[in-house]
Amino acid sequence: MALLQQQNYETLNEASAAELAKKLNLFHKDAELTTAEIGDGNLNLVFRVEDRLSGRSVIIKQALPYAKVVGESWPLTLKRAKIEADALKLFKELAPEFVPEVYFSDETFAITVMEDLSHLSIARKGLIQGEEYPLISKHLGEYLAKTLFFTSDFGTKPSDKKELVKKFINPELCKITEDLIFTDPFFDSETNSFEEELRDEVKKLWADEKVKLEAALLKQSFLTEAECLLHGDLHTGSVFASKTETKIIDPEFAFYGPAGFDLGQVIANLLFQAISCESKQESIFSHIRTFWETFTAEYSRLWADSNMEPYSKTEGYLEKVLKKYFKDTTGFAGCELIRRTIGLAHVADLDGISDQSKRITAKIKTLNLGKKLIVSREQIGNIDELISNVKDSL
């Protein structure tokens, strides 16, 4: 990047971040810039650069060459910044209303300069605090219908899709998912983290060959089924929201995988709210229903209007595809429920339940629901049956 003095990767500071923003002509020449580092420092530096005169602001995100999770630190490829910037740009083309704009990106410095979304809040935090986002489920359904359809062999030419598969090969970040979602929670692995009161339940899981076989098959699907370009980490912490707007950020885990993985993560992360707060259950179930119905309606519309596959008019094909997506969604949601309860990375929805006994009860329910979704995914035929399975577990 000729815009900065250095030739090799170096972390930005507030001064060099402001200098970069200026050189990119993102502000008026008389702008009075103030810069603040606002990231949580685990994986990335995040600078907010604002012009005090105009109020205009941008975000500069820089990947760090290591990850810190629960005090542990391991090296992590900087290439993820390029994957993230490339994915944001592509998703922006496909679903512009739900993706921040990227103004500039640089692979060497692992930098993405993008639209500031500070007027929105992170959906997980907002939901925990009792905020309501009436449109979030509709927006997530639309976003996924568009991104999953137009990156698949139905919505793009198979030869172009193969070049995208190549571009988004993402071994290191996929490995995190393969280990932390699909493997470690089902074995007595060092990365697991759970309260001692859960040990008996966790041991039952580790000994449950039926659940493990189905988890193995879901992992195999994640490893092999290059259906669409996924966000890859679409939990409520990757969503900025307000009452009217929804923006999906942080697609550094993007890669070609099974559609149900993104869909299942959305549903599981909404479910944590239903599990942790009884009074919200009906509202969350309604969101989950809206999410799935919007997704299928929009996906079906795109299938009818924009499908380039000669078989797309073949009787029953769309239904088969949606049925497969739903089955996968159910199973992947189950994996997410389990790993967020006993694996390395938890969610504040559950860990934040201050009453110890209620928290343990909620986590046991989460584990059992996770197992049920994994093993019964062939039998759970539609979104209403999924919700009634959830109700039976709570």
Going residue by residue from 125 to 154, which x/- string records binding to its own copies, judged by CB under 8 A? ----------------------------x-
Structure tokens at 278: 């009884």
Task: Compute the least distance from the CB of residue 210 to its own copies, in Å.
Answer: 8
| Binding flag, residue 36, its own copies (CB under 8 A) | no
In Å, how far are 49, 76, 100, 115 from 103, measured between CA atoms? 13, 24, 10, 7
| Binding flag, residue 118, its own copies (CB under 8 A) | no
Name which position in 96, 171, 352, 381 contacts its own copies (CB under 8 A): 171
Name which position in 89, 162, 289, 365 contacts its own copies (CB under 8 A): 162
| Binding flag, residue 78, its own copies (CB under 8 A) | no
**Contact indicator for 98, 185 with CB cutoff of 8 Å:** no
Q: Which of 46, 54, 16 has its CA nearest to residue 115?
A: 46
Backbone φ and ψ of 148, nearest 5°: -70, -40
Indicate the helix (H) or strand (E) that contains 379: none
Which range of residues in 59-67, 303-311, 336-344, 362-370 is near its own copies by CB under 8 A? 303-311
Name which position in 125, 204, 301, 320 contacts its own copies (CB under 8 A): 320
Which range of residues in 92-100, 245-253, 283-291, 316-324 is near its own copies by CB under 8 A? 316-324
Q: Which is nearer to its own copies, 37 or 208 (CB)?
A: 208
Structure tokens at 159: 């030869």
Which range of residues in 6-14, 65-73, 84-92, 224-232 is near its own copies by CB under 8 A? 224-232
Task: Compute the least distance from the CB of residue 226 to its own copies, in Å.
Answer: 5
Q: Which is nearer to its own copies, 96 or 171 (CB)?
A: 171
Cα torsion through 201, 206, 211, 214, rounded to 10: 150
> Long-range contacts for 31-40 (Cβ within 8 Å, ≥24 apart)?
31/56
Task: Compute the least distance from the CB of residue 227 to its own copies, in Å.
Answer: 5
Half-sphere exposure of 82 (CA within 13 A, CB side): 11
- The residue written with tokens 């507030």 in the block is 14
User: What CA–CA distance (Å, rounded) separates 283 from 274?
Assistant: 8
How many amino acids of this chain bind its own copies (CB under 8 A)?
40
Q: Which is nearer to its own copies, 142 or 227 (CB)?
A: 227
Other Cβ atoms within 10 Å of 195 Cβ, number: 14
Task: Indicate the DSSP class of residue 185.
Answer: G
Provide the binding-site residues for its own copies, judged by CB under 8 A: 153, 158-159, 161-163, 165-166, 169-172, 174-175, 178, 183, 186-187, 209, 212-213, 215-217, 219-220, 223-227, 309-311, 314-317, 320-321
